[in-house]
Amino acid sequence: MYVSVSYECLEMVGTMARMDVMLVVGARPQFIKSAPLIREILSRHRQIRLSIVHSGQHYDPEMSDIFFRELRMPEPMVNLQAGSGSHAEQTATIMKRLEGPMIKAKPDVVIVPGDTNTTLAAALTAAKLNIPVAHLEAGLRSGDMTMPEEINRRLTDHCSALLFAPTQTAVCNLKREGLSNASWLTGDTMVDALHIAMPQVRAKERAFLEQFRLRPHQYVLVTLHRPSNVDNHSRFRQILIALDRLSKRLPVIFPVHPRTLKRLDKLGLRKSSTQTGVIITRPQGCIETLGLLHNASSLLTDSGGMQKEAFLLRVPCITLRSNTEWPETLEGGANRLLVNPEMIPSMAMRVASDEKLRDRIGRIANPFGNGHSSAKIAHLLRMTF
């Protein structure tokens, strides 16, 4: 049975014995969603001894080190330096390198955020060592088993002792799979993260726009990294051609994910892409990305997390996929699924011309919580283990 936790009720929990918690992260989305929980534990829960393990799944400094600095996260206890490779290679490498530190640390619980290969590898390693697993952002489902993330999140949920569901939809998904007894409706720590980050974003966003000669609400932000979009030469070329067409009517800025950059090089598309009107730039840090997103006319993405970030910032989103793990964002046209790349220019221009769309998104009830999710999760850890 899931429970919606009230912060006031949890405040009544008395002082408990010290507990050791291990948090395993490895990729940009995990850093962002974990940062407010880390901050909560370190500042308000002295009886929780927290150790952080970095799998090294994202090893590029622009996808890893910068986030630790900007989010003011403490240095990890160890970096496993798993690096890249096939899904099997990466997952297996993390498991092999994580087992020793996990046995040595003997944590009372291992927290695994999100749905990356790091998430599944850490969950399986802990479960096989009979260490309880707590899944942060549990219960998400896209229904698409061709996505590695869908496999990771389903398997992780089913080997976890504690499931922190960000939305009521996620709770219902877990209930259908017989996981109600381990489920708690906590809200989404991304809301907490935005509350923390937005003062910095607002202070710096003007400089970000001036750097790229962009004007508020008059450009499209693009992020792409999924194999379904960037690994297929023909489809990726179609997307780039569509972005070029769009850039002749509305500026397009495309911070390129390292994985996407490799595909550009391998497919011989980097040179041709730089000859278009699209502004191609290196990956941006958390604050820079939020600044660019906050001021965009719309977001074109295949990311799961950025769909939600756009919704919370009232920015219209176009998701270049046939499904989403965040169905809540589809309400009121806040997020639109698009499969055909040829439709990108017309869809983006339609969104840009709808002057009242942002206001309508702002009136949609927020299903992701009130910004106290990290506090609820920290108290649940103390109550459960």
The per-residue pLDDT for 262 is 80
Residues 322 and 375 in one domain: no
Has residue 266 got a pLDDT over 90? no
Strands 162-165 and 133-136: parallel
The per-residue pLDDT for 270 is 63
Q: Confirm if 143 and 151 have CB atoms less than 8 A apart.
A: no
202-220 average pLDDT score: 95
Of all helices (H) and strands (E), which one includes residue 298? strand 298-301
Rounded Cα distance between 166 and 181, Å, is 16
Residue 104, SS3 per DSSP? helix
For residue 276, name the pLDDT band (cuts at 50, 70, 90).
low
Burial class from Cβ neighbours inside 10 Å (0-12, 13-18, 19+) for residue 241 reads: middle
Residue 53, SS3 per DSSP? strand
Q: Confirm if 363 and 357 have CB atoms less than 8 A apart.
A: no
Residues 60 and 96 in one domain: yes
Residues 174 and 260 in one domain: no
Number of Cβ within 10 Å of residue 127's Cβ equals 18
Has residue 353 got a pLDDT over 70? yes
Residues 227 and 324 in one domain: yes
Rounded Cα distance between 295 and 314, Å, is 10
Residue predicted with more confidence, 278 or 186:
186
Residues 182 and 206 in one domain: no
Number of Cβ within 10 Å of residue 303's Cβ equals 21
Has residue 381 got a pLDDT over 60? yes
Domain that holds residue 245: 197-362
User: 16-27, pLDDT tens digit by residue?
Assistant: 579 999 999 998
Has residue 38 got a pLDDT over 70? yes
User: 141-166, pLDDT tens digit by residue?
Assistant: 999 999 999 999 999 999 999 999 99
Q: 1: Cβ–Cβ under 8 A, 6 or more apart, which residues?
A: 180, 181
For residue 67, name the pLDDT band (cuts at 50, 70, 90).
low
Residues 267 and 308 in one domain: yes
Residues 174 and 267 in one domain: no
What are the tokens at 382? 């103390």
Residues 118 and 234 in one domain: no
Could you give the number of structural domains in the chain?
A: 2
Looking at every residue in the chain, the average pLDDT score rounds to 91
Match 């939305």 to its residue by tokens: 167
Told to judge if 257 belongs to the known catalytic residues of this protein, a careful annotator would answer no
Rounded Cα distance between 164 and 167, Å, is 9
Rounded Cα distance between 358 and 296, Å, is 11
The per-residue pLDDT for 261 is 83
Annotated active-site residue in 58, 225, 233, 294 = 225
The per-residue pLDDT for 13 is 46
The per-residue pLDDT for 61 is 60
Q: Confirm if 222 and 254 have CB atoms less than 8 A apart.
A: yes
Residues 171 and 225 in one domain: no
CA 259 to chain centre: 16
Cα→Cα distances 222→52, 97, 146, 179, 367, Å: 31, 35, 23, 36, 25
pTM of the model: 0.91
185-209 average pLDDT score: 95
Q: Confirm if 102 and 126 have CB atoms less than 8 A apart.
A: yes
Share of residues in the chain with pLDDT > 70 (%): 91
SS3 content of the chain, % helix, strand, coil (to 5): 50, 15, 35
Residue 306, SS3 per DSSP? helix
Here the CATH number for the domain that contains residue 320 is 3.40.50.2000
Has residue 173 got a pLDDT over 60? yes
Residues 319 and 237 in one domain: yes
Residues 242 and 178 in one domain: no
Has residue 319 got a pLDDT over 80? yes
Residue 128, SS3 per DSSP? helix
Has residue 271 got a pLDDT over 80? no
The DSSP output letter for 332 is: G
Q: 365: Cβ–Cβ under 8 A, 6 or more apart, which residues?
A: none
Residues 101 and 203 in one domain: no
Has residue 101 got a pLDDT over 50? yes
User: 122-144, pLDDT tens digit by residue?
Assistant: 999 999 999 999 999 999 999 99
Q: 183: Cβ–Cβ under 8 A, 6 or more apart, which residues?
A: 2, 138, 139, 163, 165, 171, 174, 175
